[in-house]
Amino acid sequence: MTLDLIIRDARLSDGAAPVDIGLAQGRIATIGAGLASDAPTLDAQGGLAFRGFADSHLHLDKACILERAVNRTGDLKGALAAVTAAKRDFTTEDVYARGARVLEQAIGQGTTLIRTQVEIDPVIGLAGFEAVRQLKRDYSWALDLQICVFPQEGLLNYPGTEELLRAALAEGADLLGGCPYTDTDPEGQIALLFEMARAFGVDLDLHLDFDLDTSWRHLDEVARQTIAFGIQGRVAIGHVTKLSMLPPAALAQSVALLQEAGIALTVLPATDLFITGRGHDHAVPRGVAPAHRFHAAGVCCTVATNNVLNPFTPYGDCSLPRMANLFANVAQLGSIEELTACFEMVSSAPFRLLGVSDRIEVGGPADLVLLPCESRASAVAEIRRPVWGLRGGRMTFEAPAPRILRP
């Protein structure tokens, strides 16, 4: 067998002995110990090789706009108002440039799969969608990008939005999103979104229940519609910050509801921490849904970036280990098992949500990322940065570990 490259001494799972991985023609040709070949080699030094991180919820179209959009109040209303004003000046070229900046950060952090949320309405039209669609093509050498189009500022209350969403879906958007809490008729929006998803044969990913008032929520209606339409396993919900305020019995009921409806939960800790609880001057609630409780019950749960350098989240470097570490801190998770679960929520779980296999096996694509550690838990605990990545057997980035220079 003629190999193009051999990766020496890489671990494929926690505690496993290092193995060699032989690559040929962009695929994994063989896996074993002490592979004999004259092919070039890449020393993994006992590090952890995996398929890379997956970001299940990232807004490329409104990233990196801090200099032109200020959240005057710090809360959700202030963030929405700031982006609404800034969006009037968005162009396809502008969205593309800012999106490319974020994608290149993500690639360098070992992310190989992203679901991006793209706003569609009569103000921005399809300009953002067209920019992100081009980004999907131009960066396919390094990662896969799913495009979720959604109405950030309402649907039924915003004439012309439905037609634009349908146009984006007809032109190749991968799935449909929603934001019921910004609509004058939230349940009407939910009903229309489910009808549109069925018409176009796409999955749904909804921004949901983004506040701390537990006296009402849209989760129950989304679950009801999911079951009624028979699309269990094809609906995801993001934020759902109300879940952070539920006592144990009510939380257990919500876990059971998501289990029954087959709905995935995405938690966005950086944004949820920054936005929620602004009305409290002491004992400020965290506002981060306890994804680990749902994960432990078998619900597909992911932790994601959401926003980068904008009024919703005025920071970010696209590091998913950092985001998993942030969630672990907020949820007060510290055991090996808990930290491993946090790693899964930025890797295998979002891969599953986005319908992509993360298996490393003979015959599979030579898409690999190397972490300089031996376990998934330590990657989260130490916020380990990947040192290199491959796609189709080609190097996509390098970030060598610091070299200590002793006197």
The string of pLDDT tens digits covering residues 371-398 is 999 999 999 999 999 999 999 999 999 9
Residues 6+ apart with CB under 8 A from 231: 194, 197, 198, 203, 204
Q: Tens of pLDDT along 175-197? A: 999 999 999 999 999 999 999 99
Separation in Å, CA 23 to CA 43, 110, 401: 14, 19, 24
pLDDT of residue 361: 97
pLDDT of residue 48: 98
Alpha helices by DSSP H, 4-108: 76-87, 92-108
Q: Predicted confidence band at 248 (pLDDT cuts at 50, 70, 90)?
A: very high
Instruction: Using DSSP, state whether 135 is helix, strand or coil.
Output: helix
Residue 1 has pLDDT above 90, yes or no: no
H or E element in which residue 141 lies: none
Residue 127: CB atoms within 10 Å: 21
| β-bridge mates for residue 50, sequence order | 369
Q: Where are the beta strands (DSSP E) in 167-319?
A: 175-178, 204-208, 235-239, 263-267, 301-303
Cα–chain-centroid distance for residue 44?
Answer: 27
Residue 230: CB atoms within 10 Å: 8
Q: Predicted confidence band at 240 (pLDDT cuts at 50, 70, 90)?
A: very high
Angle at 131 between CA 98 and CA 198, to 5 degrees: 125
| 12: exposed, middle or buried (Cβ count in 10 Å: 0-12, 13-18, 19+) | middle
Task: Report the mean per-residue pLDDT for the chain.
Answer: 97
Residues 6+ apart with CB under 8 A from 237: 205, 206, 207, 208, 209, 219, 222, 263, 264, 265, 266
Q: Predicted confidence band at 337 (pLDDT cuts at 50, 70, 90)?
A: very high
Q: Predicted confidence band at 401 (pLDDT cuts at 50, 70, 90)?
A: confident
Which whole number is the average pLDDT over 115-129?
98
pLDDT of residue 345: 98
